[in-house]
Amino acid sequence: MRRRAARTPRRHLTLAIGSAVAVCLSAGLVAVAPQSGPARRRPAAPPPRVVEVVERSIQALQEDMRAGRATSRDITAAYLARIGAYDKQGPSLNAMIAVNPRALDEAEALDRERLERGPRGPLHGIPVVIKDNYETADLPTTGGTVALAGFSTGRDAFQVKRLRDAGAVILGKTNLHELAAGIITISSLGGQTRNPYDLARTPGGSSGGTAAAVAASFAAGGMASDTCGSIRIPAANNNLFGLRGTLGLSSRTGIIPLSHTQDIGGPLARTVADLAVLLDATVGEDPSDATTAASRRRLPARFADSLDDRALKGTRIGVLRNHFGTAPEDDEVSGIVRRALDQLKAQGAEIVEVTIPGLDEVVGASSLINLEFKADLMQYLAQFPHAPVKSLQEILDRGAFHAALQATFKLRNAAVADPEEIRKVQGRRALAASLVSAALEEHRVEALAYPTLRRRPVVVDEPQRGSNCQLSASTGFPAMAMPAGFTADGVPIGFELLGPAWSDTRLIALAHAYEQAARPRRPSPTTPALVNGQAPRPVAFTAAAEGAPATAIVARFEFDPVSGRLSFDLPTGTLSASIHRSTPGPDGPVLHRLLDPAAAASRGAIVLPPYQRPWLLEGALRVLLRTAQGAATLRLAPLAR
């Protein structure tokens, strides 16, 4: 007999699944790859069970499958339903370029395998998303450019194959900054991806689609790539964890190149434990990528075994003052990161200030992206006679790119890879690595800490300033990006720990200890749990005045959890009404005024910004209302009816 799903508290908005693939088809997301032979009709599968996937860890999902509370098909359908509800509808995150139309079939096959032979490991049946510069045999690989629309290599990237071998379900491909050539995630094929914590802002890049998808619980985790910050910046901007590993930790085979001396691939995840599971499945030596030979005998048996709640105790961490901004615009981020470093200190780490003279000048002139991109892309495309374009010049000639990339592509197409200039840059990289190594030894620190971005994520269409991406990329040293906290208006901020070459395992341990103490992860406020497979509908509720003398005063409200729209109908004769956040002492200042003194209407609506929506759902907002009879306080609690 099928076990009835446990009732989820109303406060958390129970997630149920409808026809997920149909939703994604109607949203234009499903990419249909050519099939060989006549289609075979599959017997109708029973409807998926109600399962909760929002913020669920890989371990928790595995336990659900082991205990029979869910199947991989149930979990896959749940994620597909969230994509259908929130990617092109509702907040319209626009994180996905394509959804795998065979995802449910693949999940069912893995369910059968589990029953017959047992699970392959911790990723068996777990849905993940893949950045669309990784090759996938069954889905197009476009790099986000219309120049490669529909292009398929017919093979899996090394790391994608490792994921499949581990039993992961490839749920779909994610948007990226076109050809990975930027850090705000806009592309001619995929458009602009938005930050699920503040829809007006970018998710970072170039792996912004993967980051937004993971942050919004579209999948259990996802694959990204990092040439100069493309794992770490999206991790910071989306309250996630991401490791740019030591160069050689993981294979680049099957990833569209941006700069072969700086490229590396790796996962993004909501927890360090999930990150470790994804790393265990994807790192290791690849005969087709010579850099990975250096990983031989340097990898742990399992990154997951390195997780240690007490790893920070007795550790010395250097605060790299070079990478903290000095402009007034940098103060906000610096303060948030400093408070995160206090958490490290509270767990037994010793925090010391470190300045490395000359580092900024050396690192600032150590990138080879401009000199390598054109040739690397041409060499990659030459492998495929059927590729629709063969060079960056051809992409420019056709105008097959987003206007935001025009200056970047023209600059890189005009660059001449002068051997002497390349030699000078490589010398600066060696010097940067030497300076960092010397500082680590001199100050006896295991890692250097600094903000991932010195400034908050920018509003869409603005250039992002303040990146600290190049230090790890130039030295080849690993850097772990972690959530530091949030700005006052709910924008995520991140920081990094950079260690010496092959200290990846130690950085994972330190990040886990920080995570367990600080608990910095918050769910995205714009993508709440589904109800019966759909985005939750507006909730109507009333609020009565608290205490004498105005106990008869009642106002009516309606709240839409997806849009944040709060409609109100206030009592006739209301003179003023304003929303405040409840505090331990007197209520906070006015957040919103509900009435215009010059207008007679007592009805209207406001939109709560994303960071204020959890306050409403937690009952932490009040309306201070004044009538001719006196003042009254109304507590807003839409889910406490």
- How far separated are the first and last CA of the chain, in Å rounded? 34
Q: Which residues pair with 99 in a beta bridge?
A: 30, 172
Q: φ and ψ at 215, to 5 degrees?
A: -65, -30
132 vs 213: CA distance, rounded Å: 13
Residue 332 Cα distances to 236, 454, 457, 560, 581, angstroms: 15, 9, 12, 31, 22
Buried b (16+ CB within 10 A) or exposed e, 80-108: bbbbbbbbbbbbebbbbbbbbbbbbbbbb
Which of 187, 188, 206, 225 is catalytic? The answer is 206
- Residue with token string 């206090």: 342
Set 88, 131, 161, 374: catalytic member: 131
Structure tokens, 320: 């790299």
Catalytic residue among 152, 217, 230, 295: 230
Alpha-carbon gap, residue 559 to 616, rounded angstroms: 9
Q: Which of 106, 168, 176, 169 is nearest to 141 (CA)?
A: 176
Instruction: Name beta bridge partners: 481.
Output: 242, 496
Token pair 């790393």 is found at 279
Strands of the sheet with 316-320, listed across from one edge: 96-99, 169-174, 127-131, 222-226, 264-269, 241-244, 479-486, 492-498, 447-451, 316-320, 350-354
In this structure, are residues 631 and 550 in contact, taking their beta carbons and an 8 Å threshold? yes
Pairing of strands 492-498, 169-174: unpaired
- Cβ 634 vs Cβ 543: under 8 Å: yes
Angle (CA) 186 82 169, round 5°? 85
Residue whose entry in the numeric block shows the structure tokens 């390349």: 422
CB 29 within 8 A of CB 89: no
Verify whether residue 230 is a known catalytic residue: yes
Give the residue from 23, 3, 20 showing the smallest Cα distance to 70.
3
Residue whose pair of structure tokens reads 């700086």 in the numeric block: 262
Strand order in the sheet with 630-636: 590-593, 574-581, 621-627, 630-636
HSE-CB for 243 with a 13 A CA cutoff: 34
Which one-letter DSSP state was computed for residue 545? B
The tokens describing 147, both together, are 């120049």
Report the distance separating Cα 143 and Cα 263, nearest Å: 14
Runs of H (alpha helix) within 5-102: 20-26, 58-66, 72-86
Residues in a beta bridge with 351: 317
Q: Is 578 an active-site residue? A: no
In this structure, are residues 130 and 124 in contact, taking their beta carbons and an 8 Å threshold?
Answer: no
Q: Is 188 a catalytic residue?
A: no
Q: Which residues are catalytic?
A: 131, 206, 230
